[in-house]
């Protein structure tokens, strides 16, 4: 079930809100757990069992690590093997079979395993929990209802952000729900919904139209790359906004997942701003345990390559994702050891440099294969014999020009800074925003609903992860 769907917006969410705010506090986690399981079962009911089994295994593992500290490392290793093994089976089995067939000229049939939605996200959440319990960063949960609610909480279940147990530990036990918090949460949800439906979906339509052109051009190839970069940003950050907003409605405070990544001044800075919950996961649970940067140059190089190989592979069972991750690894190595110290002196060039390589990276990310990625990159740089521009490209530039301008402005903090400036005037400014924000929520809901009714194009890119 998509947040940006009629079913969710006008059936699931209203019913949940009514039930949630009627029941006493001691039953609120139970309500969230039941509705979260219904939400998850909407896509593929059988995989609710996988989710619940994951909850049970990691809950018991936490208790055992706490009770038998001398056996803690063994229990941790076995639990990691279970979690990673489950992820590998569902997500990567066919990838390994296909590659073994190619390497050894075999004909082992693919298993065509259907991957449970969100398995990459809830697996990383449970991994972070058992590791934190082993490290004594958190106490093991002794309440299965609370723990299962944490793992299966529907706002962040299928698309993140990756929420660590210590972030919501106290709020699972007791949380304060205020009308101001609910209002802020609904506004944040509305903004995310608008980003997803009115920008990401339209940018996705542009990408689809351009990739389907009978007569391509260099400009069309560049435009496709830019449009896809904007699509995936507004798609994923919009979903994160909706998740964070819904969390606030129910009394939870998730950490931010995006911080205007297209304003980054380096690739290092970009990854401090993009999908921050994933970056911090690999930093805290892979990079630092391997020694981080406090090792020899060769071992540091190894650490970087391992982390970014895993980052790419986490995104999908295909070589283009691995190359995408290693592409960033190379850039980060070069920034650290070669030219990073010069970037700070390069003024506006720092932004151009970062955006250029980010867009190039998403050409690799978007492709169905490495061959397609290489062809698309050649098209962008004019090596496929395409004309620089043609009438079809001009038509789409005119048709989607306003959208692209709005998306580019929306990917910067300009609007946020403007709102904050208005709010600084505590008299008139606050009164204006108190009227504008609820009105904007209603307008967004009406426009989004009209779009969803009229259009069948409503994908979510990160569902495949």
Whether 370 and 409 map to the same domain: the answer is yes
Domain end marker among 125, 140, 175:
175
The CA distance from 128 to 135, in Å, is 10
Residue in this structure with the two tokens 């919904």, named with its chain if needed: 193
More confident residue, 325 or 452: 325
Does the annotation mark 315 as catalytic?
yes
Q: How far apart are CA 438 and CA 318, in angstroms?
A: 44
What is the model's pLDDT at position 458? 58
Residue % of the chain over a pLDDT of 70: 97
Domain count, the chain: 2
CA 74 → CA 64, 70, 84, 142, distances in Å?
Answer: 10, 9, 15, 21
Question: Which residue in 142, 253, 275, 315 is the catalytic one?
Answer: 315
pTM of the model: 0.93
CA distance 335 to 341: 8
- Does the pLDDT of residue 283 top 70, yes or no? yes
Tokens of 43: 């896509």
pLDDT band at 437 (very low <50, low <70, confident <90, very high): confident
106 and 201 together in one domain? no
DSSP secondary structure code for residue 198 in this structure: I
Q: Residues 158, 46: one domain?
A: yes
Does the residue 287 lie in any domain?
Answer: no
Same domain membership, residue 362 and residue 450: yes
For residue range 160-188, list pLDDT tens digits in order. 799 999 999 999 999 988 888 999 999 99
Residue 276: inside a domain: no
- Residues 254 and 377 reside in one and the same domain: yes
Residues 160 and 194 occupy one common structural domain: no
Compute the 3-state secondary structure of the chain and give helix, strand, coil in percent, each to the nearest 5. Answer: 75, 0, 25
- Residue among 229, 461, 231 at smallest CA distance from 362: 229
CB 243 within 8 A of CB 260: no
Q: Tell me: pLDDT of 457 over 90.
A: no
- Do 411 and 443 reside in the same domain of the chain? yes
Residues 153 and 226 occupy one common structural domain: no
Average pLDDT of the segment spanning 36-62: 94
pLDDT at residue 434 greater than cutoff 80: no
What range does the domain containing 193 cover? 181-265+344-464
368-384 pLDDT per residue, tens: 999 999 999 999 999 99
From the number of C-beta atoms within 10 Å of its C-beta (0-12, 13-18, 19+), residue 137 rates as middle
pLDDT (0 to 100) of residue 59: 98
**Domain end point (choices 118, 149, 175):** 175
50, part of any domain: yes
Residue 333 lies in a domain: no
pLDDT in tens, 330-353: 999 999 999 988 998 888 999 999
Residue 305, judged by CB atoms within 10 A of its CB (0-12, 13-18, 19+), counts as middle
The pLDDT score that the predictor gives to residue 422 is 81
Per residue in 198-233, pLDDT (tens digit) is 999 999 999 999 998 888 999 999 999 999 999 999
Q: Is the sign of the CA dihedral 39, 44, 50, 52 positive or negative? A: positive
DSSP secondary structure, 96-159, as one string: HHHHHHHHHT--PPP--PPPPTTHHHHHHHHHHHHHHHHHTSSPPP--HHHHHHHHH-HHHHTT
pLDDT at 435: 81
Q: Is residue 221 part of a domain?
A: yes
Residues 30 and 49 in one domain: yes
Question: Are residues 186 and 159 part of one domain?
Answer: no
Instruction: Give the C-alpha separation, 37 to 51, whole Å.
Output: 9
Same domain? 36 vs 76: yes
- Based on the fold, state whether residues 141 and 219 are members of the same structural domain: no
Residue 322 lies in a domain: no
Residues 6+ apart with CB under 8 A from 404: 203, 226, 227, 230
Cα→Cα distances 447→86, 444, 454, Å: 41, 5, 11
Establish if 315 belongs to a structural domain.
no
Question: What is the C-alpha to C-alpha distance for residues 178 and 248, in angstroms, rounded to an integer?
Answer: 9
Of 152, 175, 198, the residue at which a domain comes to its end is: 175
CB–CB of 441/192 below 8 Å? no
With respect to residue 290, please indicate whether it lies within any of the assigned structural domains: no
Whether 250 and 21 have beta carbons less than 8 Å apart is answered as no
Percent pLDDT > 90 in the chain is 81
């Amino acid at each position: 079930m998509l947040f940006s769907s009629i079913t969710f917006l006008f059936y699931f969410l209203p019913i949940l809100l009514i039930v949630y705010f009627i029941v006493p506090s001691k039953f609120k986690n139970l309500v969230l757990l039941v509705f979260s399981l219904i939400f998850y079962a909407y896509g593929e009911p059988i995989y609710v069992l996988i989710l619940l089994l994951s909850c049970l295994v990691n809950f018991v593992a936490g208790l055992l690590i706490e009770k038998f500290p001398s056996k803690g490392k063994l229990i941790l290793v076995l639990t990691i093997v279970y979690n990673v093994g489950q992820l590998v089976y569902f997500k990567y089995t066919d990838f390994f079979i296909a590659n073994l067939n190619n390497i050894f000229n075999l004909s082992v049939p693919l298993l065509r395993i259907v991957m449970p939605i969100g398995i990459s996200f809830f697996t990383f959440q449970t991994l972070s929990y058992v590791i934190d319990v082993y490290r004594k960063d958190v106490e093991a949960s002794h309440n299965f209802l609370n723990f299962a609610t944490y793992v299966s909480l529907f706002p962040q279940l299928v698309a993140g952000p990756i929420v660590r147990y210590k972030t919501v530990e106290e709020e699972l036990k007791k949380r304060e729900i205020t009308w101001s918090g609910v209002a802020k949460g609904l506004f944040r949800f509305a903004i995310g919904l608008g980003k997803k439906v009115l920008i990401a979906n339209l940018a996705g339509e542009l990408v689809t139209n351009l990739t389907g052109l009978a007569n391509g051009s260099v400009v069309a190839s560049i435009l496709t790359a830019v449009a896809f970069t904007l699509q995936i940003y507004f798609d994923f950050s919009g979903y994160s906004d909706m998740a964070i907003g819904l969390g606030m409605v129910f009394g939870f405070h998730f950490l931010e997942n995006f911080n205007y990544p297209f304003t980054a001044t380096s690739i290092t800075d970009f990854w401090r701003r993009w999908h921050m919950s994933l970056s911090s996961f690999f930093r805290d649970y892979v990079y630092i345990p391997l020694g981080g940067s406090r090792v020899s140059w060769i071992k540091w190089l190894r650490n970087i390559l391992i982390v970014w190989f895993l980052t790419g592979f986490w995104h999908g069972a295909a070589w283009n994702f691995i190359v995408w991750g290693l592409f960033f690894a190379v850039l980060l190595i070069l920034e650290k050891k070669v030219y990073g110290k010069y970037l700070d002196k390069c003024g506006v060039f720092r932004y151009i440099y970062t955006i250029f390589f980010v867009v190039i990276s998403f050409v690799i990310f978007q492709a169905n294969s490495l061959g397609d990625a290489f062809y698309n990159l050649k098209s962008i740089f004019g090596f496929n014999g395409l004309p620089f521009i043609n009438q079809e490209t001009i038509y789409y530039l005119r048709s989607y020009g306003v959208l692209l301008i709005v998306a580019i402005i929306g990917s910067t903090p300009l609007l946020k800074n403007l709102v904050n400036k208005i709010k600084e005037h505590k008299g008139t400014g606050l009164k204006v925003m108190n009227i504008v924000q609820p009105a904007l929520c209603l307008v967004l809901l009406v426009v989004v609903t009209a779009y969803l009714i009229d259009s069948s194009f409503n994908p979510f890119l990160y569902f495949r992860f």
